[in-house]
């Protein structure tokens, strides 16, 4: 893994294959998928 970047469309990953070529892959967010971070996962019930 060379690098990974969070975008509005999903996660873009840059990797290098065995032959040395750089590959770019996009893992798109699926409808209804929530990306959160930090303690408690960021759900509204945790914010008291």
The mean per-residue pLDDT over the stretch 13-41 comes to 82
What is the structure's pLDDT at 44?
A: 54
Distance CA(2)–CA(23), nearest Å, equals: 10
Q: Read off the pLDDT band of 21 (50, 70, 90).
A: very high
What is the structure's pLDDT at 41?
A: 52
Q: Which residue has the higher pLDDT, 31 or 26?
A: 26
Beta strands in the chain (DSSP E): 3-6, 10-16, 22-28
The mean per-residue pLDDT over the stretch 11-15 comes to 94
Kindly tell me if the per-residue pLDDT of 11 is higher than 60. yes
């Amino acid at each position: 893994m060379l690098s990974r970047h969070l975008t509005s469309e999903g996660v873009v990953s840059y990797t290098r294959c065995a032959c040395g070529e750089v590959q770019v892959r996009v893992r798109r967010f699926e409808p209804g998928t929530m990306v959160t971070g930090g303690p408690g996962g960021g759900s509204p019930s945790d914010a008291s």
